[in-house]
């Protein structure tokens, strides 16, 4: 074992290889390590910034899509509401027009039914007058009740058939009256004159007044019918 005393100077022959120590090697290595650390930090910062930008971009894209969807949904809702209002207004107009046509149809039907009823009534009345010779009697009594002066001389114009029926069956009852036969008076009616007053109880006038209360204007007889 080599037991040399290393506290002494080392002889030259014992030195195999020697390199001169320089402090700048240590400084450069530290500088390179520092530059490397800075470069790595910058790379890390760049990578982090890139990730942050990508996340921000992704969030922006997502938010933009959500906003676009919200706008589309709002526009669709507004369009649907407008279409619904337009359809509702159109439907209301159609219903109003249909109701108007229905009302007009009902009025037309009611008018036709009323006119038909009047036609039936006219035929029944004519039949009653033809079958009952004394049918003129209540008409005459009603006309006499409308006179203003009871004691004045009274002239009654009657259809010849009604005149003959009264002369035969009620002569005593109407003895105070001057009964005149007048072919111009249709059977079932009469014309009463007394002291300047005239009561027109002719059948045509009574028919016209009765229908006027119903809002109708139908003649008692047509042009092609006999009076």
List, for residues 159-209, the tens digit of each pLDDT value: 999 999 888 877 778 888 889 999 999 998 999 998 888 899 998 888 888
Q: Is residue 3 part of a domain?
A: no
Summary mean pLDDT of the chain: 78
Distance CA 140, CA 192 (A): 8
Q: Is residue 92 part of a domain?
A: yes
What separation in angstroms does the CA of 187 have from each of 25, 30, 79, 168, 191? Answer: 154, 147, 75, 16, 11
> What are the two backbone dihedrals, phi and then psi, of residue 219, each rounded to the nearest 5 degrees?
-70, 155
Of 77, 100, 123, which closes a domain?
100
When pLDDT is cut at 50, 70 and 90, the band that residue 224 belongs to is very low
Contact 227, 221 (CB under 8 A): yes
What separation in angstroms does the CA of 95 have from each of 4, 89, 109? Answer: 128, 10, 20
Range of the domain at 62: 24-100
Q: Is residue 127 part of a domain?
A: no
Q: What is the CB-side half-sphere exposure of residue 28 using CA atoms within 13 A?
A: 4
Q: Is residue 40 part of a domain?
A: yes
Q: Please tell me the total count of domains within the chain.
A: 2
Q: Are residues 95 and 142 in the same domain?
A: no
């Amino acid at each position: 074992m080599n037991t040399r005393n290393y506290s002494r100077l080392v002889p030259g022959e014992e030195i195999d290889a020697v390199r001169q120590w320089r402090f700048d090697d240590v400084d450069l290595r530290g500088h390179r390590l520092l530059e490397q650390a800075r470069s790595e930090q910058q790379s890390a910062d760049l990578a982090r910034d890139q990730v942050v930008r990508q996340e921000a971009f992704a969030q922006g894209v997502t938010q933009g899509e959500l906003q676009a969807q919200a706008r589309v949904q709002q526009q669709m809702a507004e369009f649907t509401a407008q279409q619904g209002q337009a359809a509702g207004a159109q439907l209301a107009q159609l219903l109003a027009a249909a109701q108007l046509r229905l009302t007009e149809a009902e009025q037309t039907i009611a008018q036709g039914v009323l006119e038909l009823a009047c036609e039936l009534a006219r035929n029944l009345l004519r039949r009653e007058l033809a079958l009952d010779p004394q049918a003129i009697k209540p008409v005459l009594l009603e006309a006499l009740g409308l006179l203003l002066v009871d004691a004045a001389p009274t002239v009654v114009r009657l259809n010849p058939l009604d005149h003959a029926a009264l002369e035969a069956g009620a002569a005593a009852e109407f003895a105070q009256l001057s009964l005149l036969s007048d072919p111009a008076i249709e059977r079932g009616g009469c014309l009463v004159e007394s002291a300047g007053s005239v009561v027109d109880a002719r059948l045509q006038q009574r028919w016209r007044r009765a229908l006027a209360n119903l809002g109708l204007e139908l003649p008692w007889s047509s042009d092609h019918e006999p009076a």
